[in-house]
Amino acid sequence: MATLTIDGVQVTAEEGQTILDVALENGIEIPTLCSHPLLEPYGACRLCVVEIIRRGWPRIETACTYPAWDGIEVNTKAPQVMEARKVILEMMLSRTPNVPIIQDLAREYGITEPPFPAEAPDEKCILCGLCVRTCHELVKADVLNYSAQGIERRVGPPFLEKTRQCIGCGACSIMCPTGAIEIVLEQEAVYQEKPLGPTSAVWVPSLQAIPRVPVIDKDSCIHFRQQDRSEGKIDDACMACQMLCEVDAINFEQEDEIIELDVGAIIVATGFEMWDATKLSQYSYGQSPNILTGLEFERLSNSAGITGGEIVTAEGKEPERVAIIHCVGSRDHNAHEYCSRFCCMYSLKQAHLVRDKTDASVYEFYMDMRAFGSGYEEFYERVQKEEGITMVRGRGASVEVLSNGKLRVKGDDADLGELVHVDVDMVLLSTAVEAPHDSSEVASMFGLSRKPDGFFAEAHPKLRPVETNTDGVFLAGSIQGPKDVPDTVGHAGAAASMALALLDKGEVVISPQVAIVDEKLCSACKTCISLCPYTAIAFVDEDNVARINEALCKGCGTCVAACPAGAITAQHFTTEQIMAQIEGLFRVPAEVEEGVKA
Amino acid sequence: MNTSKTQKHRADLLVSCVHDRAPDLIPALEAEVKRRGLEGEVKVVEAGCRGFCSMGPVLLIQPDGTFYVNVQPADVPEMVEETLVKGRVVERMTYQEPSSHACALYEDISFYSKQHRIVLRNCGMLNPASVEEYIAVGGYEAVGKALFDMTPEGVIEEVKKAGLRGRGGAGFAAARKWETGRKAEGDIKYVLANGDEGDPNCFMDRALMEADPHSILEGMIIGAYAMDAHQGYIYIPYEHTLSVKTMRNAIESARAYGLIGEDILGSGFDFEVEVRVGAHSFVGGESTALMHAIEGTVSEPRPKHIHTTEVGLWGKPTCLNNVKTWNLVPEIIGKGAEWFASIGTEKSTGTQVFSLAGKINNVGLAEVPMGTTIRELIFDVGGGIPNGREFKAIQIGGPSGGAVPASLLDMPMDYETLEEAGSMMGTGGVVVLDDRSCVIDVARYFLDFLKDQSCGKCSSCREGIRYMLEMLTNITEGKGKMSDLEVLERMGKSVKISSMCGLGKSVPNPVLSTLRHFRDEYVAHIEDHKCPAGVCKALIEHYINDQCNGCGLCLRKCPQDAITGEKKELHTIDAEKCIQCGVCFDVCRFDAVGVR
């Protein structure tokens, strides 16, 4: 603990603190552009110069580098200090005349105009070195450093050329006080890969997340991404969040884990996936950045998205005309034959968003308008009448990218009975939804069956819409077929209540008619296992036999009939019993036999 | 023929400055000696720098002391015939004093006789590649004395009594540095030799490393013993290839004699030393920048609120001294502190090597006691100003120093007095200016040098150089404003106090010192649009006066064909075509070309 005087005020300092640290703690302002609490002091901008009197000797030093030693006296506003700062700011403003933070600081010191003509008026870099130190100390990538000496000094990667060592983390850009570093996303923009993914490396997955705490996205977190070319992962790369978190809540060791639970009921809710629009080449998806799927458009118009919610084309301009094509991949013999159900309504909503945020004309190419929900028809009426959207009834047939960058949408207008086309700046494809690509694995894991369209089969389409043929396993939402939000909520509610009803029973009564394996006869051929529709048969490796889970078995007899060794019998339904019943059927009653005799 | 080490030769030919100027000289000498069958009698030695640049290549014949200047391969047969065979001096090859009498002997030449050579004691006197020759002149005796007869504290005490100040420029007391280094806690300590000489026109460190490498090593061994360090590094710029080669060779040959390595001379003291090479720049000689370079990072200074003697190279206590400082240590230990302290002034003891450049007859390296006056250095040792022109000022201390005007000609040169005059000792670079040198142009030259020799880390130094240079350039081009002078002064003062390292703090010195002593010249440039020295091209005009006899020499030499005139008639210069290059002025033998 040291005691020193700053501007006549006695203050105390901890071991390792600098004068700047202590001054800031005590509300004494010292201007600085090159210091940052996460980085080692550097002393490049020289704005924090102060007068320090130590052992009777006055000297001018930078507050950001000078240790807060015991007994020193600091004057942050000594006349020669103020003059030195003013001279430095005059030179900085001449170097970077159009940087607001420099302009503001200069104004504080009474400088309104740069005293020298600027060599490059667009210059923003003041060579404070924050980016270089961030890249070296935090990111540990060492991509940035200084090149050339003296007045030619500049910051950049080696030889000022692109380097693969840069992971594009953007930390340098965030640290830069003057906005001199811009991160340019090349070709594959992040949002295209992960439309609903994290917007930063530390994020809350959704506002409804439970518990609602931030998590680290390992794909974008510098700490996890930073690799050394030869030695692999750098363990101490960027730990800025840990250094800043006052309650020590950051744990880099925490891993995703698999938790095993014994449960009484399972609700399977895998949702849907978007169909890949490149599969139908006539829509030219992927050939122009201005052809977007509905989901991409959602990202674009989201206020947390890359444009801050502004609807602009890839060229950064507001579109003049926008076409929306319905049923892309839905109701199509070449893709999915089913209707994806909710595209009509989101297409109308997106037409509304375009009209609301821009002056663009909107053309909707649709086959039938399926506005079936509560209030849907009214919304459909409203966008047509009040917002002036042009509805073209007839499938949008193709999109062509013209040489001037415009997009030509051709279609069939069924009302006019002729082919029409319109040249637009942006095309939104209302693409189909489909069952997730790994549905078959999920199906076999839970012993569920799927319908020809790929979605999961319910036990009965009308009477048991959330149950499956496997007891205790229920479906919720779009796993069973495309659903909009109200339908999904309703379906999920039903699944939850079915599961609760089952759990509430405490115990269940099952039919005693189940199959059993005569383990002496089982030849371990495993034929039965794949045939069982209820996943009730498991193969026990230790005993080398198939064994039946009696709680799951419905006694359907499929395995009994299929077992080549005749090892499986259905209890209460054995061959002997059946034969006995047959014999019983054919036996002439005694009185009849007696009557015949008589 | 027997040419072993023990062979006594009749004469040694010590040849200096052959590298750039006459690479064929030594082969020519050797061939001629062999042709005349003198191989066993005469030995040709490639000695290091003798410091007499304006006269090189020079040749000293020992033991008789005959000294030849400007020796060329073509002179060799005559020289060998006359001097080595017949024992006669070749008059035309001897040095002519400006007082116009020929000096055949080394000791008679005033450039040498008026010097006091301690640092340069062995330079040019022995073969730098031979450790035996160094030992033969008493080398490494001081190491023996220190290791066996003195305690480390005793060594530091001796250096303290000698009053030795670091020769790198700042003049910090060497013993205080060593003492802190010794007391600093740490299992590993380093001693470093700074061979990164950055001043333009300065080459004494290079000359020393190339001519007398062992004296530096010897000093480092003693220093390391005093500080309990066991590892040393000598930092040399990559460009100084001969220094690197000579130092590396010296380390290896010293190691062969057990003077470097484990258990030196059986004393139990271990010391390893290594040459480290880095990119050359003026800022690279700054102590922390140099340490960064050895560590392999960007060579730029860091704050030194905690001294490098406590936290230095790789965070360990480190003692860095200039190669000249290390070179003086064996002399102090060998001859004693009293002897050293008796030379020079009370506060600045010993001698200082000056690098003389500019408008001076004897360009080269000259070593004189501290406290010698400027007049003695320039006129007695340096031989005065060429062509009888008038002395105007000297710029001492290179880009970090400042100009000292003629009015202070009798000022003694030591650390304190020079600093009071707004200049500094620095590494001893001296640029002599005569009445035909423009001080503003010189200040501009130094800033132009600094603009890419500063590291560029501090905004004050980097941008200060940029804008002061811009203003000085404007003034020399006749575009200056009177308000610039006030801005230059303000900016200079602020840059001086707000920059981090010694370089940044001294960047404004050439500007501030010339503003202080030569303000009227600035005013002449700005208000009258005249360069009184006739240097700044935008402000001058060449003309031909009636002294012209029409010889036509200037007419033929003019690169712009700007001069017209019939033979034997007055010539004239076409001002439209003239680019003020000054060729006519230089070639005219009749003082007929003037500048206004």
Contacts of B491 in chain A (CB under 8 A): 87, 91
Is residue B578 in some structural domain? yes
What are residue A49's DSSP bridge partners?
A62
Mark yes or no for CB contact A149/B467 under 8 Å.
no
Beta strand residue intervals within B539-579, DSSP E: 542-544, 563-564, 572-573
Contacts of A88 in chain B (CB under 8 A): 459-460, 463, 494, 498
Contact present, A591 and A573 (Cβ < 8 Å): no
The residue from B475, B504, B527 where one domain ends is B527
Tell me, yes or no, whether A323 and A282 share the same domain. yes
Please report which confidence band the pLDDT of residue B258 belongs to, taking 50, 70 and 90 as the band edges.
Answer: very high
Give residue B569's pLDDT.
Answer: 87
Instruction: Identify which of B374, B360, B408 has the alpha carbon closest to the alpha carbon of residue B201.
Output: B360
Give residue A400's pLDDT.
Answer: 95
The residue from A456, A490, A508 where one domain ends is A508
Domain count, chain B: 4
By three-state DSSP, how is residue A202 classified? strand
Beta strand residue intervals within B10-145, DSSP E: 11-15, 42-46, 59-62, 66-68, 95-96, 102-103
- Poorest-pLDDT segment among A26-40, A292-306, A558-572: A292-306
Please report which confidence band the pLDDT of residue B580 belongs to, taking 50, 70 and 90 as the band edges.
Answer: confident
Distances (CA, A) of A302 to A126, A199, A350, A583, B159: 35, 12, 11, 75, 75
Contacts of B303 in chain A (CB under 8 A): 41, 43, 61-62, 65-66
Give residue A191's pLDDT.
Answer: 36
Is residue A142 in some structural domain? no
Nearest to A150 among B452, B487, B491 (CB): B452
Domain count, chain A: 3
Instruction: Identify which of B457, B459, B460, B505 has the alpha carbon closest to the alpha carbon of residue B300.
Output: B457
Distances (CA, A) of B101 to A410, B92, B113, B505: 106, 12, 15, 47
User: Would you give the DSSP letter of residue B138?
Assistant: T
Tell me, yes or no, whether B357 and B337 share the same domain. no
Q: 3-state SS of A105-153? A: HHHHCCCCCCCCCCCCCCCCCCCCCHHHHHHHHHCCCCCCEEECCHHHC
Give residue A185's pLDDT.
Answer: 64
- Which percentage of chain A shows pLDDT scores above 90? 65
Contact present, B190 and B231 (Cβ < 8 Å): yes
Tell me, yes or no, whether B369 and B486 share the same domain. yes
Please report which confidence band the pLDDT of residue A194 belongs to, taking 50, 70 and 90 as the band edges.
Answer: very low
Please report which confidence band the pLDDT of residue A197 belongs to, taking 50, 70 and 90 as the band edges.
Answer: low
- Which percentage of chain B shows pLDDT scores above 90? 65
Give residue A229's pLDDT.
Answer: 64
- Residue found under tokens 């104004």: A107
Instruction: Identify which of B304, B365, B311, B342 has the alpha carbon closest to the alpha carbon of residue B170.
Output: B304
Backbone φ, ψ for residue A59 (5° rounding): -155, 160
Tell me, yes or no, whether B168 and B275 share the same domain. yes
What is d(CA B92, CA B96) in angstroms, rounded to the nearest whole number?
Answer: 9
Instruction: Identify which of A23, A62, A80 has the alpha carbon closest to the alpha carbon of residue A9.
Output: A23
Give residue A337's pLDDT.
Answer: 94
Mark yes or no for CB contact B455/A152 under 8 Å.
no
Give residue A6's pLDDT.
Answer: 94
How far does B347 lie from chain A, in Å, by closest CA?
A: 21
Tell me, yes or no, whether B193 and B279 share the same domain. yes
What is d(CA B398, CA B316) in angstroms, rounded to the nearest whole number?
Answer: 31
Residue of A nearest to B298 (CA): A146
pLDDT surpassing 60 at residue A128: yes
- Which percentage of chain B shows pLDDT scores above 70? 98
Q: What's the whole-model pTM score?
A: 0.74
What is d(CA B448, CA A492) in angstroms, rounded to the nearest whole number?
Answer: 77
pLDDT surpassing 80 at residue A206: no
* A285-323 pLDDT per residue, tens: 999 999 999 988 988 888 767 777 889 998 888 999 999
Tell me, yes or no, whether A502 and A540 share the same domain. no
Selected residue of B459, B474, B484, B507 to mutate for chain A interface (largest A Cβ count, 10 A): B459
Is residue A310 in some structural domain? yes
What is d(CA A246, CA A582) in angstroms, rounded to the nearest whole number?
Answer: 81
Mean pLDDT of A187-197: 43
Nearest to A95 among B456, B457, B463 (CB): B463
Tell me, yes or no, whether A575 and A493 share the same domain. no
For residue A332, the domain's CATH number is 3.50.50.60
The residue from A508, A531, A554 where one domain ends is A508
Residue A568 tokens read as: 């499986």
Is residue B166 in some structural domain? yes
* B369-393 pLDDT per residue, tens: 999 999 999 999 999 998 888 999 9
Contacts of A129 in chain B (CB under 8 A): 457
Residue B61 tokens read as: 């014949």
What is d(CA B307, CA B288) in angstroms, rounded to the nearest whole number?
Answer: 10
What is d(CA B325, CA B347) in angstroms, rounded to the nearest whole number?
Answer: 16
Residue B278 tokens read as: 């880095």
What is d(CA B502, CA B506) in angstroms, rounded to the nearest whole number?
Answer: 6
User: Would you give the DSSP letter of residue B66?
Assistant: E
Rounded to the nearest integer, the mean pLDDT of chain A is 89
Tell me, yes or no, whether B550 and B481 share the same domain. no
Residue span of the structural domain in which A28 resides: 2-77
Residue of B nearest to A52 (CA): B305
Q: Which residues of A511-533 are buried (b: 16+ CB within 10 A; e: fewer)?
A: eeebbbbeeeebeeeebbeeebe
First-to-final CA distance of chain B: 68
For residue A556, the domain's CATH number is 3.30.70.20
The residue from B320, B341, B362 where one domain ends is B341
Tell me, yes or no, whether A531 and A403 share the same domain. no
Is residue B406 in some structural domain? yes
Helix pair angle (B482-498, B459-476), 10° resolution = 160
Residue B397 tokens read as: 């201390």
Q: 3-state SS of A422-485? A: EEECEEEEEECEECCCCHHHHHHHHCCCECCCCCECCCECCCECCECCCCCEEECHHHCCCCCH
Distances (CA, A) of B139 to A179, A502, B122: 61, 101, 10
Residue of B nearest to A80 (CA): B494
Contacts of B500 in chain A (CB under 8 A): 43, 46, 62
pLDDT surpassing 70 at residue A598: no
The residue from A56, A77, A98 where one domain ends is A77
pLDDT surpassing 60 at residue B286: yes
Residue of A nearest to B450 (CA): A150
Is residue B116 in some structural domain? no
Tell me, yes or no, whether B74 and B146 share the same domain. no
Q: How far is CA B524 from the centre of its chain?
A: 33
What is d(CA B275, CA A89) in angstroms, rounded to the nearest whole number?
Answer: 42
Beta strands A9-13 and B563-564, pairing class: unpaired
Residues of chain A whose beta carbon is less than 8 angstroms from a beta carbon of chain B are 41-47, 49, 60-62, 65-67, 80, 83-88, 91-92, 94-95, 115-116, 126-127, 129, 145-146, 148-153
* A510-553 pLDDT per residue, tens: 888 899 999 999 999 999 998 888 888 999 999 999 999 988 88
Mark yes or no for CB contact A65/B462 under 8 Å.
no
Tell me, yes or no, whether B62 and B87 share the same domain. yes
* A339-371 pLDDT per residue, tens: 999 999 999 999 999 999 999 999 999 999 999
* A45-86 pLDDT per residue, tens: 999 999 999 999 999 999 999 999 999 999 999 999 999 999
Tell me, yes or no, whether A571 and A525 share the same domain. yes
For residue B561, the domain's CATH number is 3.30.70.20
Mean pLDDT of B161-179: 91
Tell me, yes or no, whether B184 and B320 share the same domain. yes
Q: Which residues of A356-383 are buried (b: 16+ CB within 10 A; e: fewer)?
A: eebebbbbbbbbebbeeeeebeeebeeb
pLDDT surpassing 70 at residue B1: no
Q: How far is CA B374 from the centre of its chain?
A: 16
By three-state DSSP, how is residue A586 classified? helix
Mean pLDDT of B34-39: 88
First-to-final CA distance of chain A: 125
Mark yes or no for CB contact A95/B303 under 8 Å.
no
Is residue B535 in some structural domain? no
Is residue A256 in some structural domain? no
Distances (CA, A) of B11 to B5, B33, B42, B44: 14, 11, 5, 9
Tell me, yes or no, whether A459 and A542 share the same domain. no
How far does A82 lie from chain B, in Å, by closest CA?
A: 10
Predicted-assembly ipTM surpassing the 0.85 threshold? yes
Helix pair angle (B174-183, B152-162), 10° resolution = 160
Nearest to A92 among B306, B463, B465 (CB): B463
Tell me, yes or no, whether A571 and A494 share the same domain. no
Is residue B37 in some structural domain? yes
Helix pair angle (B509-517, B482-498), 10° resolution = 140
Residue A218 tokens read as: 């390992």
Asked, as a colleague might, if the bond just before B57 is cis with ω within 30 of 0, I would say yes
* B499-544 pLDDT per residue, tens: 999 889 999 999 999 999 999 999 999 999 999 988 888 888 888 9
What is d(CA A489, CA A474) in angstroms, rounded to the nearest whole number?
Answer: 14
**Residues whose CB is less than 8 angstroms from the CB of residue B171 and which lie 6 or more positions away in sequence, other chains included:** B165, B348, B415, B425
Is residue A274 in some structural domain? yes
Tell me, yes or no, whether B276 and B227 share the same domain. yes
Is residue A316 in some structural domain? yes
Contacts of B494 in chain A (CB under 8 A): 80, 83-84, 86-88
Instruction: Identify which of A11, A17, A92, A14 has the alpha carbon closest to the alpha carbon of residue A47.
Output: A92
Alpha helix (H) ranges present in B59-124? Answer: 76-79, 110-113
What is d(CA A257, CA A487) in angstroms, rounded to the nearest whole number?
Answer: 32
Residue A363, H or E segment? strand A361-366
Contact present, B261 and B270 (Cβ < 8 Å): yes
Contacts of B499 in chain A (CB under 8 A): 46
Residue span of the structural domain in which B93 resides: 11-108
How far does A77 lie from chain B, in Å, by closest CA?
A: 14
Residue by residue, DSSP assigns B193-248 as EE----STT--HHHHHHHH-HHHHHHHHHHHHHHHT--EEEEEEETT-HHHHHHHH
Tell me, yes or no, whether A305 and A389 share the same domain. yes
Q: 3-state SS of B363-417? A: CEEEEEECCCEHHHHHHHHCCCCHHHCCEEEEEECHHHCEEEEHHHCCCECCHHH
Give residue A186's pLDDT.
Answer: 60
Tell me, yes or no, whether A450 and A542 share the same domain. no
Contact present, B346 and B370 (Cβ < 8 Å): no
Tell me, yes or no, whether B520 and B562 share the same domain. no
Tell me, yes or no, whether A323 and A378 share the same domain. yes
What is d(CA B288, CA B286) in angstroms, rounded to the nearest whole number?
Answer: 6
Give residue B321's pLDDT.
Answer: 95
- How many other CB atoms are there within 10 angstroms of residue B11's CB atom? 17
Give residue B108's pLDDT.
Answer: 86
* B420-464 pLDDT per residue, tens: 888 888 888 999 999 889 999 999 999 999 998 999 999 999 999
Give residue B38's pLDDT.
Answer: 87
Tell me, yes or no, whether A417 and A345 share the same domain. yes
* B44-93 pLDDT per residue, tens: 999 999 999 888 899 999 888 899 999 999 999 999 999 988 888 998 89
* B320-375 pLDDT per residue, tens: 999 999 999 999 999 999 999 999 999 999 999 999 999 999 999 999 999 999 99
Is residue B126 in some structural domain? no
Is residue A147 in some structural domain? no
Is residue A178 in some structural domain? no
Give residue B183's pLDDT.
Answer: 93
Nearest 5°: the CA angle A205, A207, A210 is 75
How far does B159 lie from chain A, in Å, by closest CA?
A: 27
Tell me, yes or no, whether A480 and A534 share the same domain. no
